[in-house]
Amino acid sequence: CPLIVTNTNSATASNEADFEIIPGTFTPACSITGDVTDHFSATLSDTIVVALDSLTGLFAGSDVAAAISGSYSVDLGATGSYRLLFFPPQGQPYYQGSYIVACAGTQDHQFTTGLELSGLVESDTAAPIPNAWIGVAGTGDFGDDALNFASGDFSIFLPPDSYEVQVVGPVGGRHISTI
């Protein structure tokens, strides 16, 4: 259902919003389905699957792989091609997957283990900086990002490649570095 957000107090920068559900039904034009497994071919649940329009990059739909079967189904409003992104469950040593798939298609995904890029974000006085954004861009068609922990530590799993790493301080912070 479409969601309408109404700003109830425009005098403040942050305020509560009222939500209104518009009556109606969503009839998908097509669906993309598949199964998600780990590197041993065992079912991998709690994987987030996101579909983006392959031409515009706009969000088109999403699903979470089922706990028992590892199956997913993303319903889409229009036929065409979509970029499917597979995000592994938090704490798993896998990197995200990406495919271009035609609507009404099937795309299974088997995660492979990645190389771990980890580190500590700290100030020039060696104090940990929590909630920093770490962005990683590879030479191929791959990138990833994460927020670090309160301890300043971060960990991202990536396929073999050369990467540029950018670190940006917490909200209202400044750009820290590009490595």
Q: Which secondary structure element, helix H or strand E, spans residue 100, and what is its range?
A: strand 97-102
Q: Give SS3 for 177.
A: strand
Tell me the C-alpha distance between 129 and 153, whole Å.
Answer: 9
pLDDT digits (tens, 9 = 90+) for 47-83: 889 999 988 888 898 888 887 888 999 999 889 999 8
> Which of the listed ranges 12-16, 51-55, 154-158 does the model predict with the highest average pLDDT?
51-55
From 24-33, 86-95, 120-129, the region with the lowest mean pLDDT: 86-95
Q: What is the pLDDT of residues 73-93, one digit of tens each?
A: 999 988 999 988 888 887 787
What is residue 89's DSSP assignment? P
Mean pLDDT, residues 94-107: 84
How far apart CA 104 and CA 76 sit, in angstroms, is 9
Give the per-residue pLDDT at 96: 76
Order of strands, sheet of 30-37, starting from the edge strand that comes earlier in the sequence = 71-76, 30-37, 109-110
CB atoms under 10 Å from CB of 45, counted, come to 15
- Give dist(CA 45, CA 52) in Å, integer: 21
Task: Tell me what the pLDDT averaged over the chain comes to.
Answer: 79
| The pLDDT of residue 10 | 59
